[in-house]
Amino acid sequence: MNFISTVIDWINKDTKGLYESRLQAVVIRCTSMISIVYYVFLAILFLINEQWLLGLYDIAGSTVLMYAVFLTYNKRVKQSFWIYNLAMMFLVVFQIVYLGWGIGAQYSLFLLIIVSMFTTYYTPVFKFLVALFYAVLFCILYLYVQFHMPYVVFLNNIDYFISIITIIHSFGCLVVAGFYFSAKSMGMEKKLVEYNKNLERLAFFDPLTGLYNRRQTLTFINKQVSALEKMETGAFTVVISDIDFFKKVNDVYGHDCGDIVLKEVARILKKTVDKRGLASRWGGEEFLMIFPGADKDTVVGHVESLIDTIRKMEINYNGYVIKLTMSFGVCQYEKGMTADEVIKNADVNLYEAKKTGRDRVVY
């Protein structure tokens, strides 16, 4: 297991070049190592059967692939890419010409297409031309074998054995390259999804409390106003609330405690609104709730229950028990009012609640 881990770490080792593709290097390393084992095995088989030219050619090809692997560790991934492609291409052509189409070496051209398409060094047009070149080469080789017999024909079913290991080699390399490239694509897609989620959270939600932010709340209220302006009847109610003496909490217990208080209040407000509407952090220790389709009397009932819940709430912080109260201002939308007017009237009622003793709702 330690040996396997060492090999995996060696294959996945980062490139030294600042602007080189690690993924490209890893794929070249993996597929080259598989190909080196394959071609060395073939070379031994050919030499045993006194096919010196085939054996020496495969040894030479394996040596070139080793050099391509070496370059991936020495700031030469781009150069390695071309050496790898050229070596594999000539090995495929040589095998088809000498051993015939049935050997299956042509499938390695698909591998070269995949590796070329995922390279980061060239434009899409260039990648398309490279892929087109390999596709044309595939067709040329196919036409060639229709009119030319292979130079070497093995006896005792050795050619069938070579075909099997050649196909295993080709598809093994395809699987490895596909695995790495697809894993990279999936990883990038996952990061993109997370990035978009983070953007959405930043655009719509307050990072501390998780409630909707001020901008998204204004958008929601304006939509409510626009919708009700087109209807003969309908209503929605806005509630603005403020934590009483919140500055004292920060001054006495610290801002960390203040953040905990804000989060706990946000949790209760969100639970109160539930599926009835929207809860948001309006700014500082102020919160705003919107109840679409609800009249003032209904919402005041919710708020009075909420006031009682807040009053009974206890927050434990560093051995201290913190108790809170909140003040609320309520305003119901009426035909002809703008979003700003609804918010302003609710804010005026909140100020009145503060002025007349706090821990209450004014509507």
Contact present, 325 and 358 (Cβ < 8 Å): yes
Tokens describing residue 20: 């080189």
What interhelical angle do 22-48 and 52-72 show, nearest 10? 160
| CB neighbour list of residue 138: distance below 8 Å, 6 or more residues apart | 106, 109
Distance between CA atoms of 127 and 119, rounded to whole angstroms? Answer: 8
Q: Which of 285, 286, 304, 341 does the annotation list as catalytic? A: 285
Distance between CA atoms of 91 and 356, rounded to whole angstroms? Answer: 91
Annotated catalytic residue 285:
yes
Sign of the C-alpha dihedral computed for residues 147, 95, 129 and 173 taken in this order: positive
| CB neighbour list of residue 43: distance below 8 Å, 6 or more residues apart | 54, 55, 56, 58, 59, 62
Contact present, 85 and 134 (Cβ < 8 Å): no
Q: Specify the DSSP class assigned to residue 100.
A: -
Tokens describing residue 221: 């209220």
Active centre residues (catalytic): 285
